[in-house]
Amino acid sequence: MLGWALTFLVIAIIAGVLGFGGVAVVSAEIAQMIFFVFIVLFAVAMIARAVRGRPPL
């Protein structure tokens, strides 16, 4: 999932450099949304792991 966020970030940067403002904004928003979903899922996984008795990474 983090790979997808980085992919959309690269697309946004390339589109911004080439002058495609609309595409850059949409790609940046998608990258940001996917990144936050990744962070939330990572936190949930770490909490679930700690609750089961295993130490967090």
User: d(Cα 31, Cα 10) in Å, to the nearest integer?
Assistant: 9
- Looking from the CA of 43 toward its CB, the CA atoms found within 13 Å total 6
Q: 7-51 pLDDT, tens per residue?
A: 888 888 888 888 888 888 888 888 899 999 999 999 999 898 889
This prediction has a pTM of 0.71
Angle at 54 between CA 53 and CA 57, to 5 degrees: 145
User: d(Cα 48, Cα 38) in Å, to the nearest integer?
Assistant: 15
pLDDT value, residue 53? 83
Over the Cα atoms of the chain, what is R_g?
16
Q: Residue 21 carries which DSSP code?
A: H
